[in-house]
A and B are shown apart, each in its own frame.
Chain A
């Protein structure tokens, strides 16, 4: 099962490597990991997407909690939540492909944020499936490069992850 784990961690040197080291040392899966400071710069918030049985996910959250610098851990995928990921795609956009690419970008509510005579850079936000669908929907041979941020997530409604 796929899980989205959110955590607050002290914003200190080496904090990220403690988390990533834990995953590799204990052979846990890690699909994506995003991290940045929160509105309180002494803390960072991390979103980790992992897969595993319920037992493994339980161990992951316990092991994360055990890290001295980790302040709070929640599996936000246990309840209603929102996930977003940002992707930038550079595509070849010449001739008839230029119009087609613009149309596809519009359909997926993307934005073209860089234009040259032969290329576009398309910015796309959404959940993982939406970004995957876009990649599948456009002509693969026109993709020059893609870059994705990995998932960040937040609980819906009153569910708040705060100190």
Chain B
């Protein structure tokens, strides 16, 4: 483990995210999202990203920033579309410039958990009898029909937390924990944007939510206080 995982800026933390990378994004409905990291990534003008996220609708300032910058060629999400006319994601999908895979939310969570935990996929009782199960392996387990879902691994995960120590232990605030802590383990390199950076020992080990082993880099949220 490196002695410190703290990067000077969001831009430095995302500097090696490359064309065609798969990027897992934290935050639900655009709240508690890693906005500084995403903005820095959009500024880099990378191309062909696959973005895995909860939804795009409410998170205009998050995923739409990347989509508008032309960085994204594929979205995997339970709720990628906006409602009503003029939704950018819907328009790009119609014109064939954006591939979209809709995945049930819990299935997406479990596919990423599998990747992070080194599990070769899971059988889930979700989507049986629907188009989400079409073409997939179905197995009856204890009398319940289940569909096989493979692991989904990211090259990078961008997440938001409240506090980190320099070895990467994370603490969240409220519902910030939900989707951010679900995606953090599934990527080769996980980058956390945090409001506070503290010294090792300043976070009670009993209170650590995401152990630092899952976190590779830490960047301060824009204008976040030190300490």
Q: Do A and B come from one complex?
A: no
Chain A interface (Cβ within 8 Å of chain B)? none
